[in-house]
A and B are shown apart, each in its own frame.
Chain A
């Protein structure tokens, strides 16, 4: 009953003008970003971070999640209508979605996707509402060794799931962790890698690095690529009705995709992208007529789209319960919450329960807003996809410049952003994943803190980890995964999930 009361309070907090506007703006911008090829949800969330600062942490969190969530909704529109995924998590939707469009069933596909995303979103929020406080309570028993081992496991999984070459992922994590050490070490007030510069004493700020790597490098990459104007099919409102057969075929895949996506969302790395591939593969395997896949099977459209929506909610669990982001967008959220002096983790549910429950309530509302936005306005959103980058990129560029400068009135930050942006272009060209770098940067100080506390606790005897069953299990899982990855080529294992399209994000 306590949960219901807290949820009720959450709804009461949500129904403020600021939060409702934040929810709407987040959902709307997210949908637009999802529709527009090029700019992804992470880049947009970073760009919006400075604008959330004048408001409270809850408002910021609502807006950020609205963008992420909205992008998952919007991404399907161009996949179905133009055969161009708006963002990485909609790549799979192109396969059958565009075929449905060619058969004149684009409206039905988009309607089923919108409803499926709504159902998945609701299931995801229910999962988050149920599991997060429970896991939060369990996480209270985590000591520094458990946190350290959990982060080691997360880094091992992240390096493997984020990059084409796991070594590139590991390298990016290490570089992110290094950048986190620059500045005065809060534990012993020792300045490290500052080289006498006062500006470096406070460390490298997260925001300019993130805006540079996700925003500026995205702008530069799009600017140097050849632009092909897409042709968008027109959709009328009356074409949005799916037939009875399509509805029947989509119910089970939607539910399966929702549950599967939620649990895949708990994995480190681009879980929203992975969830779509897994959901598609599962539906094809379960189907009595797998030959229809690739030729306009409605199951191949609704299952991945449901999965990516609930994966968003699943990936909020490690962030909210442990304060450990597993994906780039949740790393941005962590940075945003820290800017508001809110530290997510096990204590969040006792120190700031209103943040969590208002967020849950706002997500229910945002999910409904997205359904209402996406069904009647799908035609309008589709037309946004044809806006040329020559119009869009100059505006985004100057928003990045002024936005980063405005946070600390620091031109040094803007230089850092430009430097990170140019480096980001080459990292993308050479297929070095950026998300692990950002996660490493955000988690750097926490990792060092946990390592030091663990060493002090164990008086330098690391074998004492054997006395901590949970820490030992987490460490054993990390070692087992590494051993599997190293041994797999020796046994000729060729089973691999093709998630290259999303890995470079």
Chain B
């Protein structure tokens, strides 16, 4: 029996692009296509959306016909990716409250531990050094006023 082509993650992404391209074209049409003589605001994005759909469709067919399986991320790599992203998000959420120096110190320490830098002395020293460097660079060298949180 002929094996059905596997619909992997990459194919899902390409399918998403087809949907995005279609949405771009439909929305652009609503902006007013105009004519070639008097182009409207939707003309250019309409063609871009159409180009995305065509390219992604051909790519999807090629992906499915090739039948190749992409290697999934192993658990360790997926965990690292998730925790790193979470730390980035927490930096954004906490920065206005705690100020950029403290958040930078905490985030650097978190990054070190996520990346398995052994012990506590090295991560803490690196975090303190980085926070000091960032403070000197932005505050004293570039004179950029960044939120300082409760340190005011």
A residues engaging B (CB < 8 A)? 51, 54, 165, 167-168, 170-171, 174-175, 177-178, 181, 185, 187-188, 190, 192-193, 216, 219-220, 223-225, 388-391, 393-395, 397-399, 401-402, 405-406, 409, 411, 414-415, 418, 421-422, 425-426, 429-430, 447-448, 451-452, 455-456, 459-462
Are B130 and A398 closer than 8 Å at their CB atoms?
yes
Q: How far is the CB of B49 from chain A (nearest CB, A)?
A: 7
Known: A177-B48, A181-B45. A411 touches B104 (CB 8 A): no
Partner of B59, one of A171, A185, A388, A402: A171
Q: Which residues of A contact B137 (CB under 8 A)?
A: 51
Q: How far is the CB of A196 from chain B (nearest CB, A)?
A: 13
State A225–B41 Cα separation when bound (angstroms): 44
Are A430 and B13 closer than 8 Å at their CB atoms?
yes
Does B17 sit within 8 A of A, measured CB to CB? yes
The chain A residue with its CB closest to the CB of B89 is: A418
State A496–B101 Cα separation when bound (angstroms): 51
State A455–B70 Cα separation when bound (angstroms): 44
Q: How far is the CB of A41 from chain B (nearest CB, A)?
A: 21
A-B contact pairs, 6 of them (CB 8 A): A167-B58, A181-B44, A193-B27, A402-B100, A402-B138, A415-B92
Known: A406-B138, A411-B96. A398 touches B62 (CB 8 A): no
Q: How far is the CB of A295 from chain B (nearest CB, A)?
A: 34
Number of CB contacts from chain A to chain B under 8 A: 157
| B59-115 with Cβ < 8 A to chain A | 59, 62, 70, 73, 76-78, 80-81, 84-85, 88-89, 91-92, 95-96, 100, 104, 107-108, 111-112, 114-115
Q: How far is the CB of A149 from chain B (nearest CB, A)?
A: 16
Known: A390-B112, A391-B117. A178 touches B104 (CB 8 A): no
The chain B residue with its CB closest to the CB of A181 is: B45
State A223–B86 Cα separation when bound (angstroms): 14
Are B41 and A185 closer than 8 Å at their CB atoms?
yes
Are A455 and B108 closer than 8 Å at their CB atoms?
no
Are A459 and B89 closer than 8 Å at their CB atoms?
no
Known: A54-B142, A459-B37. A394 touches B115 (CB 8 A): yes
Q: Which residues of B contact A219 (CB under 8 A)?
A: 84
User: Which are the 7 A-B pairs with shortest beta-carbon distances?
Assistant: A460-B37, A460-B36, A394-B111, A224-B77, A190-B41, A390-B117, A171-B55
Q: Which residues of A contact B122 (CB under 8 A)?
A: 391
Q: Which residues of B contact A167 (CB under 8 A)?
A: 55, 58-59, 62
Q: Which residues of B contact A187 (CB under 8 A)?
A: 41
Q: How far is the CB of A183 from chain B (nearest CB, A)?
A: 12
Q: State how many residues of chain B have any CB contact under 8 Å with chain A.
A: 64
Are B62 and A165 closer than 8 Å at their CB atoms?
yes
Known: A167-B59, A429-B70, A459-B37. A220 touches B84 (CB 8 A): yes
Does B19 sit within 8 A of A, measured CB to CB? no
Known: A188-B41, A390-B117, A394-B126. A175 touches B52 (CB 8 A): yes
Q: How far is the CB of B34 from chain A (nearest CB, A)?
A: 9
Q: Which residues of A contact B45 (CB under 8 A)?
A: 178, 181, 192-193
Does B39 sit within 8 A of A, measured CB to CB? yes
Known: A165-B62, A178-B45. A395 touches B126 (CB 8 A): yes
The chain A residue with its CB closest to the CB of B23 is: A193
Known: A165-B62, A170-B51, A398-B108. A190 touches B31 (CB 8 A): yes
Q: Which residues of A contact B49 (CB under 8 A)?
A: 178
State A261–B85 Cα separation when bound (angstroms): 39
B residues engaging A (CB < 8 A)? 9-10, 13, 17, 21, 24, 27-28, 31, 35-39, 41-42, 44-45, 48-49, 51-52, 55-56, 58-59, 62, 70, 73, 76-78, 80-81, 84-85, 88-89, 91-92, 95-96, 100, 104, 107-108, 111-112, 114-117, 122, 126-127, 130, 133-134, 137-138, 142-144, 146
State A54–B144 Cα separation when bound (angstroms): 10
Q: How far is the CB of A417 from chain B (nearest CB, A)?
A: 8
Task: Label chain B's interface by main secondary structure.
Answer: helix
Are A460 and B59 closer than 8 Å at their CB atoms?
no
Known: A216-B88, A224-B73, A430-B70. A452 touches B107 (CB 8 A): no
The chain B residue with its CB closest to the CB of A407 is: B144
Are B52 and A178 closer than 8 Å at their CB atoms?
yes
Are A51 and B142 closer than 8 Å at their CB atoms?
yes
The chain A residue with its CB closest to the CB of B34 is: A455
Q: How far is the CB of A31 from chain B (nearest CB, A)?
A: 20
Q: How far is the CB of B66 from chain A (nearest CB, A)?
A: 10
Q: How far is the CB of A424 from chain B (nearest CB, A)?
A: 12
Are B126 and A224 closer than 8 Å at their CB atoms?
no
State A411–B95 Cα separation when bound (angstroms): 9
Q: How far is the CB of A214 from chain B (nearest CB, A)?
A: 15
Q: How far is the CB of A397 from chain B (nearest CB, A)?
A: 6
Q: How far is the CB of A455 from chain B (nearest CB, A)?
A: 5
State A181–B47 Cα separation when bound (angstroms): 12
Q: How far is the CB of B7 from chain A (nearest CB, A)?
A: 14
Q: How far is the CB of B92 from chain A (nearest CB, A)?
A: 5
The chain A residue with its CB closest to the CB of B135 is: A402
Q: Which residues of B contact A391 (CB under 8 A)?
A: 117, 122, 126
Are A430 and B10 closer than 8 Å at their CB atoms?
yes
Q: Which residues of B contact A51 (CB under 8 A)?
A: 137, 142
State A447–B43 Cα separation when bound (angstroms): 13
Q: Which residues of A contact B59 (CB under 8 A)?
A: 165, 167-168, 171
The chain B residue with its CB closest to the CB of A172 is: B55
Q: Which residues of B contact A402 (CB under 8 A)?
A: 100, 104, 134, 138, 146
